[in-house]
């Protein structure tokens, strides 16, 4: 939450060739607001090292380098057991 509106870029890493799917590709958060996003990860099971793989999401304000966040998550798929 900030006193100004910000636009953000979101990316994810952790599985070779994975694709980040965002329903709202233009991430703009109004001043004084907190916004939730629904995102999906698509990955080829042949690129997964295990059934459960750690991935990271990186959120960066496009005009303010100090506004950044990194969050870890688990991607669970039909990969190797």
Q: Is residue 1 part of a domain?
A: no
Q: Quick check: 80 and 49 in contact, CB under 8 A?
A: yes
Residue 32 belongs to some domain of the structure = yes
List the one residue out of 45, 50, 44 whose CA is nearest residue 74: 50
DSSP-derived 3-state class of residue 48: coil
Could you tell me the pTM of the whole model?
A: 0.85
Give the domain range for residue 30: 6-76
| pLDDT tens digits along 6-61 | 999 999 999 999 999 998 878 999 999 998 989 999 999 899 989 999 999 999 99
Find the DSSP H helices in 1-81.
none
* CATH number of the domain enclosing 45: 2.60.40.10
Position 81 in a domain: no
- Is residue 14 assigned to a domain? yes
**Number of domains comprising the chain:** 1
* Residues 6+ positions from 23 with CB-CB distance below 8 Å: 37, 38, 39
Q: How many C-beta neighbours within 10 Å does residue 38 have? A: 8
């Amino acid at each position: 939450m900030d006193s100004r509106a910000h636009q953000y870029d979101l990316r994810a890493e952790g599985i070779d060739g994975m694709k980040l799917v965002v329903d709202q590709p233009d991430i703009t958060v109004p001043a004084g607001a907190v916004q939730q996003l629904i995102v999906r990860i698509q990955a080829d099971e042949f690129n997964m090292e295990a059934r459960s793989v750690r991935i990271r999401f990186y959120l960066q304000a496009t005009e303010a380098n100090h506004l950044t966040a990194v969050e870890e998550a688990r991607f669970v798929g039909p990969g190797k057991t």
